[in-house]
Amino acid sequence: MRYEKGRKDASRRRIMEVAAERFRSDGIAASGLAGIMSEAGLTNGAFYPHFQSKAELVRESVAETLETQSNRLQALLAAGGLEAAIAAYLSPAHRDDTGGGCAAAALLPELARQPLKTRRICVERFLTTVREMATALPSQTEDPEGVALGVYATLIGALQLARAAKGTPLSDRILAAGAEAARTLVEARQESS
């Protein structure tokens, strides 16, 4: 049986989209291939023409998700600078969108247990994000990459804590405190210059 041109690419894309959302919302370990394939509208046997293993699917889907997030960050930085990026990242909407939100915040503990090849790709993507943030800092900022790294770590940690406290008043307080801490990091490095 012959299929129309592009069907294999479309199937692979659908598998990766479903996997990325499932990994972020449910976790890597809790997301089985059978569930991913079913949600993608494909049979389990259709997985292996696209990926050799779940580890390969994790690596490729997380890397693509982090790249997509980097593109969104670039757009935010271009439109409203670092303040817009901080506000969007630590917003209630982003906190509540676990399946479509930041893969780093959702998956860091599990990514730390992934094979070295996957961790290296994630580190490359993290550094890309940090460097993009660094370019948005005021020119007089001392060690812009270091400041951006601190801001990024602050944002991720605050989002993780806010998600853990979701449904309580503390969650919104964590978002606000995290945003203020990120702004303070930026301002402190400008004043000391």
- Reported as a pLDDT band with limits 50, 70 and 90, residue 192 is low
pTM of the model: 0.88
The domain total for the chain is 1
CA separation for the pair 26, 87 (Å, rounded) = 25
Which two tokens mark 7? 């069907």
pLDDT at 94: 97
Residue 146 reports pLDDT greater than 60: yes
Residue 19 domain flag: no
Residue 153 reports pLDDT greater than 90: yes
Boundaries of domain holding 186: 54-191
Return the number of other C-beta atoms located less than 10 Å from residue 124's C-beta: 12
Residue 4 domain flag: no
Express each pLDDT in 12-61 by its tens digit: 999 999 999 999 999 999 999 999 999 999 999 999 999 999 999 999 99
Residue 134 domain flag: yes
CA separation for the pair 162, 92 (Å, rounded) = 9
Average pLDDT, the chain: 93
pLDDT at 4: 59
Mean pLDDT, range 69-84, rounded to an integer:
94
- Reported as a pLDDT band with limits 50, 70 and 90, residue 7 is confident
Express each pLDDT in 64-75 by its tens digit: 999 999 999 999
Mean pLDDT, range 78-89, rounded to an integer:
96
Residue 139 domain flag: yes
Residue 48 domain flag: no
Residue 36 domain flag: no
Return the number of other C-beta atoms located less than 10 Å from residue 111's C-beta: 22
Are 141 and 190 a contacting pair, CB within 8 Å?
A: yes
Residue 5 domain flag: no
Residue 178 reports pLDDT greater than 60: yes
Express each pLDDT in 105-123 by its tens digit: 999 999 999 999 999 999 9
Residues of the chain with pLDDT > 70, as a percent, come to 94
* Residue of higher predicted confidence among 188 and 34: 34
CATH code for position 93: 1.10.357.10
CA separation for the pair 6, 10 (Å, rounded) = 6
Burial class, 77, CB count within 10 angstroms (exposed 0-12 / middle 13-18 / buried 19+): middle
Residue 149 domain flag: yes
